[in-house]
Amino acid sequence: MTLTLVPDRDFAITAWSGSFAVKIIYDIFHRRGVDFEKKARKPFIAYPLIDYGGNYIITGVVKKKENLIVHDKKYGTRVIKQGEPFKVKILLLSEELFQEFTKAVIEETTLKEPAAQLNIISVSINEAWLPDTSSLADDYIFSHLIKLKVRFQTPTCFMYRGNDICYPSPVRFILSALKTLSELTGIDTQQIVAKLHALIELMAPRIRITRNESKVKVLSDYRRILVDIGEGRLQPAFTGTSIYLLNPRPLTREQLKTVLTAIKLAEITGVGISRTIGFGKIRIESMIPVKC
């Protein structure tokens, strides 16, 4: 479901915009007496705020300079102007939750937030279906490799034994996608997980060196960042692109179909931690079979 809102005055977003979106979602649910424990897993996935052009509003990116926290010049703060439409998007994971949220939106189209009064001017509802990858599995099952280019559109972080993994780890990427598929559909992915060591690898990220007069810059396909997610919490993450190589040979056709379905589903659900607040949004830019 996507809500389009308009504020009655200018306001600034200085922390992660996804945290602001979730605050709005919590307030809408609260109207129906639906509240969530702070550390409990939420039965929904939110997106960062979206501008009227359909682009994610990326905010809250900061840098540590000695003992100071300084906002990034481009992605630190965003001012939403009076009358400027923006969107809040939410993926609801149960029918009951969808009904409660819909009723709350219909009953009252005005939200009084500390930042501004927000008026809901439109509501769009789309049903998310599990991607059908049968034809892809047929095409790719005899490929030696599948080259997969992924863009991490919003800050992303994986977790391993309580530690932040702030690069596009191939194992964490596919594990996250498979885990989400299993949780939402009940599909058993354990036999695939046992083959991970032979299933996926990360191609070396491109590193480019540019020279401008006396300055030398080293650029990579992805970069590590630090995000203020609100209430004084700073979350390490990364953004950018990566290219993975998938090896279908250890898999049966059905197992390959499951892997491809999990990857396509991840375009809807995201990957990694903190997806409730809009981390981990990805776009599959290309999926190409490679004949050797």
152-161: per-residue pLDDT in tens? 999 999 999 9
Give the pLDDT of residue 46: 96
Give the range among 67-71, 83-87, 172-176, 235-239 with minimum mean pLDDT.
67-71
At which of 76, 98, 124 does a domain end?
124
pLDDT cut 70: percent of the chain above it: 98
Strand partners, 202: 244
Give the pLDDT of residue 71: 92
Residues 194 and 255 in one domain: yes
Give the pLDDT of residue 192: 95
Residues 284 and 206 in one domain: yes
Stated pTM of the model: 0.90
Report d(CA 276, CA 270) in Å as an integer.
10
Report d(CA 106, CA 85) in Å as an integer.
19
Residues 285 and 144 in one domain: yes
Give the range among 70-84, 207-221, 266-280 with minimum mean pLDDT.
207-221
Give the pLDDT of residue 205: 66
pLDDT cut 90: percent of the chain above it: 75
Residues 21 and 143 in one domain: no
Give the pLDDT of residue 203: 84
Model confidence at 120, in pLDDT bands (50, 70, 90)?
Answer: very high
Give the pLDDT of residue 137: 74
Residues 140 and 113 in one domain: no
Residues 139 and 40 in one domain: no
Give the pLDDT of residue 209: 72
pLDDT tens sequence across 153-189: 999 999 999 999 999 999 999 999 999 999 999 999 9
Give the pLDDT of residue 140: 75
Kindly state whether residue 187 falls inside one of the protein's structural domains: yes
For 234, the enclosing helix (H) or strand (E) is strand 233-246
Give the count of domains, the chain. 2
Give the pLDDT of residue 141: 74
Kindly state whether residue 118 falls inside one of the protein's structural domains: yes
Report d(CA 21, CA 2) in Å as an integer.
11
Kindly state whether residue 95 falls inside one of the protein's structural domains: yes
Kindly state whether residue 178 falls inside one of the protein's structural domains: yes
Give the pLDDT of residue 138: 77
Give the range among 67-71, 255-259, 280-284 with minimum mean pLDDT.
67-71
Average pLDDT over residues 226-242: 95
Q: Give yes or no for residue 115 having a pLDDT over 70.
A: yes
Give the pLDDT of residue 245: 94
Report d(CA 17, CA 245) in Å as an integer.
32
Kindly state whether residue 188 falls inside one of the protein's structural domains: yes
At which of 124, 157, 174 does a domain end?
124
* Containing structural domain, residue 32: 2-124
Q: Are 174 and 200 in contact (CB under 8 A)?
A: yes
Find the CATH number of the domain harbouring 245.
3.30.70.1900
Model confidence at 143, in pLDDT bands (50, 70, 90)?
Answer: confident
Residues 146 and 273 in one domain: yes
Find the CATH number of the domain harbouring 64.
2.40.30.310
Residues 69 and 183 in one domain: no
Q: Which of 111, 105, 104, 96 is nearest to 124 (CA)?
A: 105
How far is residue 14 CA from its own chain's centroid?
19
Residues 154 and 270 in one domain: yes
Kindly state whether residue 129 falls inside one of the protein's structural domains: no
Residues 150 and 117 in one domain: no
Model confidence at 65, in pLDDT bands (50, 70, 90)?
Answer: confident
Burial class for 226, CB neighbours closer than 10 Å (0-12, 13-18, 19+): middle
Give the pLDDT of residue 206: 67
Give the pLDDT of residue 283: 97
At which of 101, 124, 147 does a domain end?
124
Residues 143 and 255 in one domain: yes
Residues 72 and 151 in one domain: no
Report the mean per-residue pLDDT for the chain: 92
